[in-house]
Structure 1
Amino acid sequence: MVVREQLRKWIVAGCVGVSCIAGCKPTERFRAWKDNSNVSYFQDYVTRIEYPDVAAPLDPQLVDAPLPLAIENPSDLPTYDLTLQDAIQQALQTSEVLRNLGGSVVNAPQAQSTQLDPALSDVNPLGGVEAALAAFDAQVSSQLYWQKNDRPNNNTFIQFVPSAFRQTSGTYVNELSKRTATGASYALRTNVIYDRNNNPTRFFPSDFTGFIEAEWRQPLMRGAGTTYNRIAGPNGQIGQYNGVLIARINTDISIADFETGVVRLINDVEGAYWELYFAYRALDAIADGRESSLKTWQRVNELRRVGRKGGEPDAEGQARSNFYIFTSQLNDGLSGPNGLYAAEQRLRYIMGLPPSDGRLIKPSDEPLQAEVAFDWQSAMSDALTQRVEVRRQEWTVKRRELELIAARLNRRPRLDALTQYRWRGLGDHLIDERDPNNEFNSFSQSLLEGNYQEWQAGLEWQYNIGLRQASAAVRHAQLNLAREMALLKEQQLRISHDLSNASRQISRSYLQMQTNYNRIEADNQAVEALRQRYEGGLTDIVFLLQAQQRLATSTSDFYRSLVDYNLALRDFHREKGSLLSYNQVNLSEDALDGSAVRAAYDRGRYFTPRDNPEEVVVGGRVSNGAFDPSTVGTPSLSTPVVEAVPTPIGEE
């Protein structure tokens, strides 16, 4: 009691001393609501708009791009000639994102194809080839636990039985496991347990016990065989197919999507190139018509000054109106939505260039004017079998076929054969020399001597009565396969119609090209004749002005049909599946780097070479080998080849 009183006095004295040091100070009340004028303890917003912190530097070519061309005279601007092959090469070199003229990359960037898509599919950690192969990799696992137990015993006093159980123990477990392509699994385990407790009946106060165990499990029905495991994977569940074959087909589908993006890119590049060519030619035709109408207007003014016939005010007004009509058309042909500058900017975009750089692109290639003939049956065969969209759908059909095989194999019950073999050991010490007088002196020696061995063998059976889920998976796979087959047939039907329409457009545009060329000849003749008659006062100026308009229109229509003819050839190759070959574009994978080659060589040294590799039996094939889309059939020129400039109808 005296000690407690002294301790209480010391505590009171300490509290008084601390209070004297701190002094007397009133406590400020903490307020967490808005009327606190000193400090704000809350935010006035929850979901405000913020700007992301991303290291994405801007392209200096885009930031420093000059003002786009609008009403400048093209003849005053520096130009550089560009061939179609150079345009395609430039577009491919700058197309990390496979562009299209639709502009969907801004509103839907996730749907845009890129050069990285095949690689992303191949290395997908959830469904890629390497992820599927990882299920067969060797697995190493270790567990180390240390614990202290102190439990009272519910018993009366008995000799040699303590009132509480006190224990210090540790457990160390190692396992090395491996799955095989047949579905079997192998495992090698070691288990070491340290135990020290107060049980008085123990021979050693502390000991080490444990075992080495080998296990083999082989599925005999469901989950057995390389076919199932390559399709569904060793851990596949009903309706889930994550095997290496499915992963590889997904990569092939991604490669087909990439090829589709390249074909679309080349299609847009060629279309933009020839549309720019037409914009130049249409602008030239309008400029020639404007120059001709200006001369006519000037001639009418001269006739009016001298008082000759043809210089009447109505004639002058009509000539002036015709001049301004051509001027308006010239402005639209230069800066309109389909004008020269807009067409040049579309080509710049598809090539990956800034919208303007102070220069004007000028196509240097001339469109093909010779008549081209195709082998119709060969073209139809190529379109129905080798077009990339068909090949992609065939890969999808193949995937559904494999899924149906795995679904049918899942209808079998689960029957596994299991064997285990185990060596046990006991020792006072973990590692020590062998004591001939005490076989349990060393745990390691006791374990390795193999005096205590165990084994287990048996079968494990599991069967879902009724197979409701497995049967539904089979039916689901059958319906998926039927759907993809129907889509493949529908694709082939649509492709045949599109190819027929493309062939028809070739014939139409070539005939239109000849017809419009004859129109130019006729309109030139009419303009010259009407000009002479107008100069002689034999005709009204209206007929001359109409002839000038017709000449400009026929000239523009000729180049329109010429470009349409080349675009029809492009469309035919696209529908036939030979657009890459037509534009001399080859798709191939880069060579493996040195580290990959060395790794393959080092791994191959551990395998025995086959004496007769041609006699090796390979299971059902998934693909028919490599395919080069740039080797699809090319067109042949008809014989005889018509002249570069189509001759008038009736004079051939």
Structure 2
Amino acid sequence: MWQMPIAAFVLLSACVALIGCRSSSRDNEAVNSEKQVILQAPVVTHASLLPPIQSPPPQSSPPVSPHPQTAQSLHDTNRLLQMVSLPINRMPSATLIGGGGDLADEVRHCGVAPSRFRDLTQAELIALAMQHSEVIRSLGVRVLNSPETVTTTYDPAIRASDPFFGPAAALAEFDSQVASSLTAQNNDRVFNNSTLGGDVQELVQDYVELNSTWRKRNVWGTQFDARSVYTYDSNNRSGNRFPSYWESQIEFGVRQPLLRGAGKQFNLIAGPNARPGFNFSNGIWIARINTQISQTDFDIALRDYFLDLYTAYWELHRQYAAYDAAVEARDVAYDIWQTVLSKKRSGLMGGEAYKEAQSRATYYRYMREVQTALGGGDGSAGLYSAERTLRRLIGLSPTSLELLRPIDPPAEVRFQYDLQASVSKALFNRSELCRQRLELQNRNLRLLAAKNFMLPQLDLVGRTRVRGFGDDLDGDGPRFASATDDLLSLDHQEWQFGVEMGVSPQRRQAKAAIRNASLQLQRERSMLREQERAVAFEVEEAIAEIQSAFLTMQSSIARVDAAQQRLASSEALYRSGKIQLEFLIDATEEVVQSKTQLAVDRSRYSLALVRISRTTGTLLSDLGVHSSPCCH
């Protein structure tokens, strides 16, 4: 009799469980969808002030009434996505990377012959470099591996505006300091002994104080200060003349160092708060010298940058000459090959198979040399690589429809330099020596400041004060009716005068500071002498390089002339059948080698003339670039 109820109960439980599983699966699907939405949100790399990208509205669909908890979860998820969604960071365009210019559709390589050119003079080279050189570039690319070592046009200004060690920070030590405070308090105290409470057992007091202070230190080390104090006191003491009263006072103080820390020289070198062994970084003279050193470092980087520009310019000039020589040799080799090939097809003498193969191999050898001259290889960078290097140094786009082509002819006139005059000019103008002289001056000032700490601390101090007392702060009436009137009457004047002294008998730190400063000074002097010797060697080496480059260039010019005459004669003799093919090929190869070597020697001589200006320290002035005067 219990079977039917039991069966009905089991069937009813199964239905309830099925409905519950479906409801639970719907909730789990909603939660999982929220998790997927959150996990698929775009990764935020950096903040943006732009509004989030609004996705287009979805297509209309029948309204669905979600579960209340699910709807709230979706609402929170949408709010979270709106908070973290940012615009998609698009890659910058190539024109922005290169600073403008038309970009070519393909990268130039050895299979692409140069067709369109942009002639570039040395004057245009300097002008373009000055327009696009916020970062001082170099042939050795360091901006990716160590950007902190790269010099920029902002570096001198960054050093000059240093808020801790710059000139402004050093001058700030002598700025006026103003401080003011206003406090009010209510006191309600009970004293066990009425004498301690001022004849009252329970003290009830209202107290207000206004305090203003001004401090100033001058370059002689003198400290001035002025202070004004106004107090209001209302209490229930039985002995008071007034239930409430005002008290005012104005005081002036001065402290003048007589030994340690005294004098304008010390305070300008080390600063007013200097301590031995801390390099006196807050001295105005030290700060200005450090700023000049930073400017000199910038001049050195700028000078080397222009040298790299000229190096890349004449290297590209050499690559063009090598390419032209290779193209000329390839064309000659092609003509020879076609001549031999026609003889072979006609069955004439000189058209043997081995000669045709030899001339064909020669042609493809020169074809490879043309490709090498364009794309590089065999230890050579190639014309396209040299052109990209020059573009990078100037600040242009990596590639363009027009290929840069130097058009200024290399120097061929012989220049003579007097060794002693050149050395004297270099010793006077070199930025490295200017920087070292600044370092030497810096160390000399530090030694002078360090000697000051051997003196004891002896200060002359003085202070004067005027007080006022009254029932009210201001007003008319008898004496003590107004604290201001009583103050201005000068009836209550006080003064203080004395001498303060302090000394460390052994003075070990001061002695160590002097010893260290002396050694640093000797080191910088030795470095200056060694740098002057190194500059003298560099000048002599640069002059010798100019003379050697000129002589080798003259020899290369004579060699090219002889090689061209040999090639013309060999072509005539070969056509008449008087010489073998090997002699014509050898003459062609001689022309290519001689022209390539002439291009190398011409670039070497032109670059040697630039290097002598760099060595003597006049490169920037010769180019008309003026950054800052050298310090001597």
What's the TM-score, normalizing by structure 1?
A: 0.79
Asked whether 1:559 is paired with 2:599, we answer yes
Asked whether 1:390 is paired with 2:430, we answer no
Distance 1:129 1:193 in 2: 41
Asked whether 1:232 is paired with 2:270, we answer yes
Asked whether 1:524 is paired with 2:564, we answer yes
CA spacing shift, 1:159–1:220, aligned 2, 3 Å: closer
What's the RMSD between the two structures over aligned residues?
Answer: 2.6
Residue type of the partner of 1:106?
A: L
Distance 2:368 2:277 in 1: 66
1:251-299 superposed Cα distances (whole Å, 9 cap, x missing partner): 1111111211221121111111111111111100000010111111111
Aligned residues of 2:419 and 2:540 also touching (Cα < 8 A): no
Partner of residue 423, structure 1:
466
How far did 1:530 drift?
Answer: 3.0
Residue type of the partner of 2:392?
A: Y
Distance 2:497 2:367 in 1: 97
How far did 1:80 drift?
Answer: 2.1
1:177-196 equivalences under 5 Å are 177-196=215-234
Partner of residue 8, structure 2:
none
Distance 2:226 2:127 in 1: 57
How far did 1:541 drift?
Answer: 2.0
Partner of residue 244, structure 1:
284
Asked whether 1:135 is paired with 2:173, we answer yes
How far did 1:399 drift?
Answer: 0.5
| Equivalent in 232, 240, 243 of residue 205 of structure 1 | 243
| Equivalent in 41, 48, 53 of residue 47 of structure 2 | 53
Partner of residue 134, structure 2:
96
How far did 1:119 drift?
Answer: 1.8
Asked whether 1:69 is paired with 2:108, we answer yes
Asked whether 1:411 is paired with 2:454, we answer yes
1:22-421 equivalences under 5 Å are 51-53=45-47, 58=92, 61-62=95-96, 65-66=103-104, 67-71=106-110, 73-77=112-116, 79-155=117-193, 161-240=199-278, 241=280, 242-336=282-376, 338-421=381-464
Residue type of the partner of 1:571?
A: R
Aligned residues of 1:309 and 1:537 also touching (Cα < 8 A): no
CA spacing shift, 1:341–1:158, aligned 2, 3 Å: closer
How far did 1:330 drift?
Answer: 0.7
How far did 1:69 drift?
Answer: 2.3
Q: Residue 173 of structure 2 aligns to a residue in which SS?
A: helix
How far did 1:567 drift?
Answer: 0.7
Greater Cα shift, 385-394 or 536-545: 536-545
1:194-219 superposed Cα distances (whole Å, 9 cap, x missing partner): 22223222122222223110111100
Distance 1:571 1:358 in 2: 32
Residue type of the partner of 1:53?
A: A
Distance 1:173 1:360 in 2: 75
How far did 1:60 drift?
Answer: 6.0
Greater Cα shift, 164-173 or 448-457: 164-173
1:414-472 superposed Cα distances (whole Å, 9 cap, x missing partner): 11000000001111211222x22xx2111111111111111000011111121111111
How far did 1:303 drift?
Answer: 2.0
Distance 2:211 2:506 in 1: 41
Aligned residues of 1:413 and 1:464 also touching (Cα < 8 A): yes
How far did 1:38 drift?
Answer: 12
Distance 1:494 1:627 in 2: 19
1:588-599 equivalences under 5 Å are none
Gaps of 5+ in 1: 1-35, 589-625, 630-652
Partner of residue 449, structure 1:
489
Distance 1:139 1:97 in 2: 40
Distance 1:38 1:155 in 2: 78
Identity in percent: 35
How far did 1:395 drift?
Answer: 0.5
How far did 1:250 drift?
Answer: 1.1
Asked whether 1:506 is paired with 2:546, we answer yes
1:531-546 equivalences under 5 Å are 531-546=571-586
What's the TM-score, normalizing by structure 2?
A: 0.82
1:48-82 superposed Cα distances (whole Å, 9 cap, x missing partner): x97333799947624584443224654532x2222
Aligned residues of 1:182 and 1:229 also touching (Cα < 8 A): yes
Gaps of 5+ in 2: 1-30, 50-88
Partner of residue 620, structure 1:
none
Aligned residues of 1:587 and 1:628 also touching (Cα < 8 A): no
How far did 1:552 drift?
Answer: 0.3
CA spacing shift, 1:217–1:38, aligned 2, 3 Å: farther
Q: Residue 465 of structure 1 aligns to a residue in which SS?
A: coil
1:446-501 superposed Cα distances (whole Å, 9 cap, x missing partner): 11111111100001111112111111111111121122222222222222222222
How far did 1:142 drift?
Answer: 0.8
